[in-house]
Amino acid sequence: MSIRSIARRGLDAYHTYRIAQLGSAPSWRRVAGGLEMLIDPTDWVDQQFYLGTYEPPMQQLISALLRPAEIAVDVGTHKGFFTLQMAAAVGPGGMVIAADPDPRAFIDLQGNCTHNRLQNVHTYAVAIGDAHGTCDIAINRQLGWSSRFPNELARAGVIEKTTVRVMPLDAVIAECEPGLDQRVRFVKIDAEGSEHLVLAGMVATISEHRPAISVEVNATALAAAGSSAGELARFFREHAYAPHAIEWQRNRFGIARLQLREVNLASVDRPLLDVVAIPEGSELIERVQGFIASS
């Protein structure tokens, strides 16, 4: 049996033990970044939050990109797992802007931020889009799948529709009044097909701050919205951004490590791909490369 297999079995046993210690009722538990979340032991996503196994590459990307006193943005927050990590990374001198249009997700997000007494997080119960207005959101049974443009898989879980306010990210950032020396360094977008609209509403932010931008490229969700990976590719090319696939590799002990691979979005044939686009010539790529080299 290989070292990796032995390590994997040991890690699985440890995770099973930790989940058993949660009991049956929701409780506040420490998660990645050192802050606490209200963890429901019956929710498989919450279990991953607690164990630190939820999207390891994104966790590491946040650590690689962000520094104290900077600004990060979380579009499509779910319960705020990544919002909390961003808040810890930028510290009290920084700022996190967090937005989610699903009322259930927003309640959980606010609860987690309030419990941790975070003064550096600005929360918005809005859909981030290309212009001010309103839109209909299809609320999904699975938290995190609610969407303006549900694809076939998401439509099967829709339980209701609700109308929410829409704001462009440029307007949200202006409303938060960042300090003159503060820069938006990272924008995470998980908008279930609305990624092209979010990007269209943050052109001023891109021009002024040149942040790294992560997007979930979900082919069927984009198609339901009348968009495509090719449209995202054109946007990034027009703004001199280089998209990289967010990937990971396991070392001999089974630990996941962040990897980036430059990718042509127009030719992506995967149904789902997490991407981070980094401005050409930006020092942000050096931050990530340095993190990878030291991990």
DSSP the chain: --HHHHHHHHHHHHHHHHHHTT-SS-EEEE-TTS-EEEE-TT-HHHHHHHHT-S-HHHHHHHHHH--TT-EEEEES-TTSHHHHHHHHHH-TTSEEEEE---HHHHHHHHHHHHHTT-SSEEEE-SEEESSSEEEEEEEESSTT--BSS--HHHHTTEEEEEEEEEEEHHHHHHHH---TT--EEEEEE--TT-HHHHHHTTHHHHHHH--EEEEEEEHHHHHHTT--HHHHHHHHHHTTEEEEEEEEEE-TTS-EEEEEEE--GGG---SEEEEEEEETT-THHHHHHHHHHH-
The architecture CATH gives domain 3-129+163-294: 3-Layer(aba) Sandwich (3.40)
First to last CA, the chain: 26
Percent of the chain with pLDDT over 70: 96
Distance CA(187)–CA(169), nearest Å, equals 10
* pLDDT score at 29: 96
* pLDDT score at 175: 95
pLDDT tens track for 242-285: 999 998 877 666 667 899 999 999 888 888 899 999 999 999 99
* pLDDT score at 12: 80
* pLDDT score at 260: 93
**Mean local confidence (pLDDT), 9-16:** 84
